Structure 1
Amino acid sequence: MTVIVISGTGTEIGKTVTTAALAAVATAAGRTVAVLKPAQTGVGPEEAGDADEVLRLSGAATGTELARFPEPLAPATAARRAGLAPVGPAEVAEAARKLAATHDLVLVEGAGGLLVRFDEEGGTLADAARLLDAPVLVVTPAGLGTLNSTALTAEALRARGIEQLGVVVGSWPAEPDLAARCNLTDLPESAGAPLLGVIPEGTGALAPEEFRAAAPTWLAPVLGGVWDAAAFTATAGA
């Protein structure tokens, strides 16, 4: 895979840390990795954005933002309120293709969920993925409510003919409740796609060296790691 699109079922659920884990594993394997953040919202001009955080944690080669908007809103809304031009799916696809020409792997991290509006025409991350013919990795929360949002995201992908690579739990709690433990079994069924990783909560606070050393243990072999879904579910599930 040359391009992978990382989307979430919502916001603040671990997309950036998941993207960093993917980048860390690929970089350690000797691949050149570029991280593309089409629209960074809620971050000031001098602050580090999501792409910067991925590079810090993973050691990946390249990080690119196409636009930055100060208010923590959906990209189309944030652009409109800032009086700035939005970023459309065609621009995202073009930037990803250019990066793919000089890197082994391009990771495109979305903003919020799959169908969050990027521009006033209603363009979304799903549209960019379709233009790229790239698979989408869906990041979900661990607990109650995640099955519905995961199923809806999967349905939206299927309706558009977009491949869903699988599902990753973006922040696995140190003390998972019953819903989280049951969801290890139920998430693949809701998604219609395999569970490909579980990222422990708090991993973004690790030192980069610790993060990179541990990243393979959070991701399944198809993503370059050594994590075993069956073994983890048998141990941590309900």
Structure 2
Amino acid sequence: MTGRHLVVTGTGTEVGKTVATAALAAVAVAAGERVAVLKPAQTGVGPDEPEDAAVVARLVPQAHTAELARYPEPLAPGTAARRAGLAPVTPAAAADAARELARTHDLVLVEGAGGLLVHLDDDGGTVADVARLLDAPVVVVAAAGLGTLNHTALTVEALRARDLVCAGVVVGSWPDAPDLAARCNLDDLPATSGVPLLGTLPAGLGGAAPEGFRDVACRTFGPRPVGRWQDA
């Protein structure tokens, strides 16, 4: 029996996608599951710079992490690969790697790059295509403040147009002093997107020690949430 897959995407860059992915991994590990986190394509980091997989590994040491390719320029993966003269990571390659990890893990989290429809290669492959190939539900990580309602609704609508399941939305970086828009968005996000708000993660959580990180993640998401989301 192979493990489950869950794809994590964002409404854009810098919305807390990596920390949210790590939080999902931490909750599953706390529930006794064998967890792998796959980052198909990493952009904007040099050979010796810490990448998203390294952040997850630091926050959740029990999780296995894997990265298929990295490109130095902070661009869409397809563009970054082309400019670097390197082979891109296709959706098929990403899905194959995720399936291989599922042979030895209960849950495989696949963290996309940027938003749902950012091109992974020059053929227009996207994270949505990875989710389709894996028949996996998708968690959308969103910003807290003004503008997030539209960005989130568009992302969820794009998932539905492709017959993909959106398990829900996570606010990836909740500010210490939320403004009026952020506070209202907690009620408005489920109404405008049509999917549940799964939780909010406090800003700066990525700097926590593993034990504290796990505790916050479990308080945010509750017990064994990933199993429920698989059947969303």
**Structure 2-normalised TM-score?**
0.94
1:1-238 maps to which residues of 2 (within 5 A)?
2-221=4-223, 223=225
> What are the superposed Cα offsets for residues 3-32 of structure 1, whole Å, 9 maximum, x if unpaired?
100000000110000011111111111111
Unaligned 5+ segments in structure 2 are 228-232
SS in 1 for 2:117: coil
Give the letter aligned to residue 5 of structure 2: V
Within 2, Cα distance between the matches of 1:223 and 1:117?
29
Q: Shift of the alpha carbon at 1:221?
A: 4.6
List 4+ stretches of structure 1 deviating above 4 A: none
Q: Would the aligned equivalents of 1:80 and 1:86 in 2 still touch at CA under 8 Å?
A: yes
Structure-2 separation of matches of 1:221 and 1:11: 28
CA distance in 1, matches of 2:192, 2:83: 36
Q: Is 1:196–1:223's contact at 8 Å kept on the other side of the alignment?
A: no
Tell me how large the CA RMSD over aligned residues is. 1.4
**What's the % identity of the aligned pairs?**
68
Give structure 1 stretches of 5+ with no counterpart.
Answer: 226-238
The alignment covers a number of residue pairs equal to: 225
Report the secondary structure of 2:66's partner residue.
strand
Q: Is the 8 Å Cα contact of residues 31 and 224 (structure 2) preserved in structure 1?
A: no
**Residue type at the aligned position of 1:128:** V
**Alpha-carbon distance, 1:222 to partner:** 5.9
Q: Deviations over 1:120-170 (max 9, x none)?
A: 000000001001000000000000000000010011000000000000000
* Structure 2 counterpart SS, 1:35: strand
TM-score for the superposition, normalised by structure 1: 0.92
Q: Higher RCO, 1 or 2 (CA under 8 Å, sep at least 6)?
A: 2
